[in-house]
Chains A and B, each alone.
Chain A
């Protein structure tokens, strides 16, 4: 079996275990009296909470998209830029009061931080250098800020992505200075971020 297959099998196994744990948690929550409604697995409960927040964002996004020209193939760069800007503006208006941690709660941020730490501990100095060569030096990000147009979109190492909570297609994790962003990929705006999770570089 290849290393890739082993990694993926391990991930699938972990996801299966997480799924069973989540089901057990839900089952326990549904059946237990109010006093006993503590999650049996804190990590699974945190991920479930994260998923619910993402679902709520996607629902909001879908409702915003309904009122805009669709993000579909176009021959016109002017039209493409206008649709992207309209979506970004709509998201900004709808999430004007959003604060760091609204989408990525602290306990999930801690899991992500650990995954990043573990990943970089495994990497060679050359690997680390190559990864950070793309990362823009920047000040602390802000919610609803547009990702800088002149900066590269740093590649999140694929083996790290395997170990992060999965995101829907329209959202992406991206590195930004020493921070991890949660970006809306089409609108290119920062939805949330985890500060100072990358090693100094």
Chain B
């Protein structure tokens, strides 16, 4: 037996061990944070950016935007979801430029499409601004391939018509991943706002009925990944420009991971039944990362 042969065997054993380790890690619905990027960055995945409460036009918004542009060089997401409060204060023509077009110019120039939800600081007329891709609707859907459909709600004004619309759209969708997003968090450990109980009564039953696994929201000016609530992952990302420092309740039993000491944004990658995510601070530190597996294929949904 030659040394070369032994090396090949060792190499094979090593590869099998790595594969097994990766499989075991993948079977865990949420992985702990890793110091470096945990996104697979696969060629055929759906990649997107999540930002919320971004439209201040202030220095921190531009700093976060610069980090986002930097991140896109290694993780080429093709679209962004905006969780509301896209433009704070005045919404005159220059506000669209200073609070959106200028900070995200590198992304817009690269063809990244933004899909906005309305927040409580946003006028409904934003639905007419073509770079927000809202199709003139306060609430709408957008799909990406066969695997992912997004349901964008206007949580500042949830009418019975909107509830009926949501039920119809969820019913019609046969995407693997049905991902609603809106401004107000259904669950939150924020001291300032907290959970939106009306949404839990009216909207959550539809999410449960139609197999929703993940929901994104903003409004709270920090990042929070909640422990699954009735099996659904809720992620609050409302810190892309505003910050409510120290507003996460320390003793909240709902928080799986929180970050309320600086601004942040979240990168997401969906690869078949898995959603990888990574939240990065204004200074470029990975503050949370993990993997969510769809409940339908997850073996241990109750332990998540």
Q: Which A residues are within 8 Å of any B CB, using their own CB?
A: 2-5, 7-8, 11, 71-78, 80-81, 83-84, 126-127, 130, 133-134, 149-150, 152-162, 166, 169, 172, 185-186, 188
Contacts and interface: CB of A to CB of B under 8 A. Distances in A.
Contacts of A84: 125
Interface of B: 89-97, 101, 120-125, 128-131, 135-136, 138, 155-161, 163, 184, 192-194, 196-199, 201-206
B123 A161 contact: no
A184 B198 CA distance: 24
Contacts of B136: 72-73
B89 A127 contact: no
Given A4-B202, A150-B90, A172-B157, A80 B129 contact: yes
A7 B198 CA distance: 11
Given A73-B128, A150-B89, A3 B201 contact: yes
Contacts of A149: 89-92
A7 B201 CA distance: 9
Nearest to A131: B198
Contacts of B92: 77, 81, 149
Contact of A166 (B95, B96, B160): B160
B199 A5 contact: no
A102 to B, nearest CB: 23
Contacts, number: 111
Contacts of A73: 128-130, 135-136
Nearest to B121: A152
Given A73-B129, A150-B89, A155-B120, 12 more contacts: A4-B203, A74-B128, A74-B130, A81-B93, A83-B128, A126-B194, A153-B122, A154-B120, A159-B202, A160-B198, A161-B158, A162-B202
10 contacts: A77-B129, A80-B129, A150-B90, A153-B122, A158-B163, A159-B202, A160-B198, A161-B158, A185-B124, A186-B125
A11 B163 CA distance: 13
A111 B125 CA distance: 30
Nearest to A71: B128
A74 B157 contact: no
Contacts of B201: 3-4, 7, 159
A84 B101 CA distance: 20
Most A C-beta atoms less than 10 A away, residue of B96, B131, B157, B158: B157
A80 to B, nearest CB: 6
B91 A81 contact: yes
Contacts of A155: 120, 155-157, 184
B86 to A, nearest CB: 12
A161 B157 contact: yes
Contacts of B160: 8, 11, 161-162, 166
Nearest to A123: B197
Contacts of B96: 77, 80
B224 to A, nearest CB: 16
Contacts of A130: 193-194, 196
Contact of A156 (B125, B157, B163, B199): B157
Contacts of B203: 4, 158
A153 B129 contact: no
Nearest to A85: B92
Closest 8 CB pairs of A and B: A77-B96, A158-B158, A2-B205, A77-B93, A78-B93, A158-B198, A185-B124, A149-B90
B157 A4 contact: no
Nearest to B202: A4
A153 B121 contact: yes
Given A8-B160, A134-B120, A153-B120, A159 B130 contact: no
Nearest to A5: B205
A59 B129 CA distance: 26
A171 to B, nearest CB: 11
